[in-house]
Structure 1
Amino acid sequence: MAVETPASIYDVSATSIDGTPVSFKTYKDEVLLIVNTASQCGFTPQYQGLQALYDKYASQGLVILGFPCNQFGQQEPGNSDQIQSFCETRFGVSFPLFQKIEVNGSNAHPLYQYLRKAAPGIFGTEAIKWNFTKFLVARNGNVVKRYPPTTKPEDLEKDIQSLL
């Protein structure tokens, strides 16, 4: 039986990488950049650009949320401790990371069910195509835009600034 897609992003909860439950109500009135990540992907260096955006705009209300996913080429095989250690030591990541999830299929996390429906990809397809797909969410919880993995974090800066 399929889980019902949440009506609002604020109806979602997820588990942080350290095992703490997090209600998305925590992020009300923040601008969110939500990214499905992987440690062994050609796009993995984007962690550096994501961290740079977080460093620059967190004080103005930007929160970047990283969701490790192993659905694409098995490029996130590690456990939570390994993922967190890799992100911190390799890229200095300090933005919130969550436990590994699925973004497509019948076991997709409710957050990604919501995001895919709110911002379908090219030709209206909802499926996430690869690691480092990004979703920008306004302070009111509305999904503003979906970006493909090839869009570099620094290329999101104008869109982020317009929401802060």
Structure 2
Amino acid sequence: MSRLIRSFTDLRARNNAGEDVDFGAFADKVVLVVNAQSSSSLPTTTVATPRPPRAHPTHRGLPTAASPCPPQFASEEPGTAADIKAFYVDAHKLPAASLMERVDVNGANTHEVYKFLKGTPELGEKIEWNFTKFVVGRDGQVLGRYPQRTKPKDFDKMFAEMFAQAES
């Protein structure tokens, strides 16, 4: 029998080290989810993940779940788990706990995390390319979907508003 998924926090996945991650740990947090590719031809400004403004008094960090996907997009994730970790954790300073295992984001084997993220018509069914970003609100529901070329600075206003709301 499959579990009923009503919220992002009902989900589970494995991290890059093969350990189970219960997304209940993200309860009451804004979370960024990215389908990532370590060997992408996109610039590193696209690889970098947006962060909430550090100067904001309610800043508590932004949990990020980066999920490399198998070669669904021009074979841009051919490396091993160690190669992927070296790229994201060592070179781009993504926290190791944020790096998830490779998962399918489209097709018959779409991981349940991406089924949930793409679960409403307005968010669209198919992920077209690497670095599609989803922002999940404190209530565990998807707030938005952002295309690959969305840069970290483009999130500044949205995060400032979210953290201001949390303050009130």
Same structural fold, with TM-score higher than 0.5 when normalized by the shorter chain:
yes
Q: Relative to structure 1, is the Cα distance of residues 84 and 102 closer, same or farther in structure 2, using a 3 angstrom cutoff?
A: same
* Number of aligned positions between the proteins: 157
CA distance in 1: counterparts of 2:30 and 2:139, whole angstroms: 8
2:87 partner amino acid: F
User: Contact 1:134–1:149 at 8 Å: present in 2 too?
Assistant: yes
Runs of 5+ unmatched residues, structure 1: none
Residue 53 of structure 1 aligns to a residue whose secondary structure is coil
Going by fraction, where is helix more abundant, 1 or 2? 1
TM-score by length of 1: 0.85
Deviation at 1:61, TM superposition (A): 4.4
User: Contact 2:52–2:159 at 8 Å: present in 1 too?
Assistant: no
1:79 partner amino acid: T
1:11 and 2:13 equivalent? Answer: no
Structure number with greater Rg is 2
Deviation at 1:81, TM superposition (A): 1.3
Q: Relative to structure 1, is the Cα distance of residues 135 and 67 closer, same or farther in structure 2, using a 3 angstrom cutoff?
A: same
Instruction: After TM superposition, list the pairs within 5 Å mapping 1:122-137 onto structure 2.
Output: 125-137=124-136
Worse-matched range after superposition: 37-46 or 58-67: 58-67
User: Contact 2:32–2:65 at 8 Å: present in 1 too?
Assistant: yes
Percent identity reads 32
2:65 partner amino acid: L
1:148 partner amino acid: P
CA distance in 2: counterparts of 1:73 and 1:6, whole angstroms: 31
CA distance in 2: counterparts of 1:152 and 1:31, whole angstroms: 18
Shift >3 Å, 4+ stretches: 54-59, 118-121
User: Contact 1:54–1:63 at 8 Å: present in 2 too?
Assistant: no
2:21 corresponds to which residue? 22
TM-score by length of 2: 0.83
1:66 and 2:61 equivalent? Answer: no
User: Contact 2:36–2:66 at 8 Å: present in 1 too?
Assistant: yes
User: Contact 1:5–1:110 at 8 Å: present in 2 too?
Assistant: no
